[in-house]
Structure 1
Amino acid sequence: MSTKKILMIVGDYVEDYEVMVPFQALQMVGYAVHAVCPDKKAGDKVRTAVHDFEGDQTYSEKPGHNFTLNATFEEIKAETYDALVIPGGRAPEYIRLNRTVLEITRHFAQANKPIAAICHGLQLLAAADVLQGKRCTAYPACSPDIRLAGGTYVDVLADEAIVDGNLVTAQAWLAHPRWLAEFLKLLGTKIEHLEVAKVN
């Protein structure tokens, strides 16, 4: 059985946790994950931003790690991938202006392949016009984008996720455990917890 391939579309100032954690976790359970950015190639870096919730009316932003891409955007063939991950941060705001990014996103939606989007990642789904009739969540400031795109915004706790068909969404990195667990279910992943015998 061949390893499933997951495409991750990122850009400069993608949210640090929202790119690093799923990129590493999905590889940990055996998937091939290719992270790409428009106009960049494998080995190039994107800057990340750390968004935190510190009691202000909106999130704070600090510099994060540099994240190294492991695939070249221009070489991507969406039909060869089994699922799509769209992290949040500031990247979705500008990569949604790229026609090829929108076409790639539509491919996954139209083919009913699993899509995991978090936080501001929903801006890309809205721009690709693939939220019609979908129940989803996002960072609350993105709720107008969802509604204008014909989706239903669901306000959930920060550590929860929403699943609607092939789509799993969450508000922010606080939901990583639930968001990733639900995405793994869509991918058909089964994780078994084995009892380890104690040695006396």
Structure 2
Amino acid sequence: MAAKKILMLVGDFVEDYEVMVPFQMLLMVGHNVSAVCPGKKAGEKVATAIHDFEGHQTYSEKPGHNFQLNATFDEIDATTFDALVIPGGRAPEYLRLNDKVLAIVQHFAEADKPIAAICHGPQILAAAGVLKGKTVCPYPACGPEVVIGGGTSLPPSDTFDNAHVDGNLVTGPAWPAHPAWIRAFLEVLGTKIEA
């Protein structure tokens, strides 16, 4: 397996598990992951938030870990990357206001490169205008944005542990979907893991 060069778009209050787990797992299987945040440089950190499902009408939020960036946003060239990962949390709601973020997402979609987005990550995809004709499994509160963006929104399973693949796009509703979401993303990347 040839290592892939993967770009991860993060921001302050990205969901803790949704940045930490995929970042570490993709490194573990041998891929190169560059985690970047607009306005920040390699070595700087973003705050994370832990979103949990505790029986309320929506998720609860608690402080998470600080996540250290390993690349500088202003120095990246999207054309040199093989795939894109967009974690959820609160970061997507403001990252989608950044024109360079949208241009990066549009590059990956137009080049038909693998894109993995989880939870609120599809907010960025909708803002970038890349969901027309796509079927997505977002966090339910982001479903209307997927539809407005021209896509079809699938409901999550009762346990939020499902993922969906539509061509180069792999989506999942929240961090409980990590096993299915990351497994599907690795398959789209062409990563073979043998037991």
| TM-score normalised per structure 1 | 0.95
Q: Distance in 2 between matches of 1:84 and 1:106?
A: 11
The yes-or-no answer on 1:86 pairing with 2:86 is yes
Moved more, 48-57 or 154-163: 154-163
Instruction: Name the SS of the counterpart of 1:131 in structure 2.
Output: coil
Give the corresponding residue for 1:197. none
Instruction: Name the SS of the counterpart of 2:66 in structure 1.
Output: strand
Letter in 1 for 2:183: A
Report which of the two structures shows the higher radius of gyration computed on alpha carbons.
Answer: 1
The yes-or-no answer on 1:177 pairing with 2:179 is yes
Q: Distance in 1 between matches of 2:58 and 2:80?
A: 38
Q: Distance in 1 between matches of 2:91 and 2:102?
A: 14
CA contact 2:138–2:156 (8 Å) conserved in 1: no
Give the corresponding residue for 2:111. 111
1:34-55, Cα deviation, whole Å (9 max, x unpaired): 0000000000000000000000
Q: Distance in 2 between matches of 1:88 and 1:156?
A: 15
Q: Distance in 1 between matches of 2:96 and 2:148?
A: 16
Instruction: Name the SS of the counterpart of 1:35 in structure 2.
Output: strand
Give the corresponding residue for 2:163. 161
1:143-172, Cα deviation, whole Å (9 max, x unpaired): 000000000001131101010000000000
Instruction: Name the SS of the counterpart of 1:85 in structure 2.
Output: strand
Compute the RMSD of aligned alpha carbons: 0.8
Instruction: Name the SS of the counterpart of 1:55 in structure 2.
Output: coil
Letter in 2 for 1:37: C
Q: Distance in 2 between matches of 1:124 and 1:2?
A: 29
Give the corresponding residue for 2:55. 55
| TM-score normalised per structure 2 | 0.98
Q: 1:1-200 to 2 correspondence within 5 Å? A: 3-157=3-157, 158-193=160-195
Letter in 1 for 2:128: A
Structure 1 segments unaligned to the other structure (5+ residues): 194-200
- Equivalenced residue count is 193
CA positional deviation for 1:2: 5.5
Task: Quote the sequence identity (%).
Answer: 69
1:43-77, Cα deviation, whole Å (9 max, x unpaired): 00000000000000000000000000000000000
Letter in 1 for 2:186: L
Q: Distance in 1 between matches of 2:144 and 2:40?
A: 30
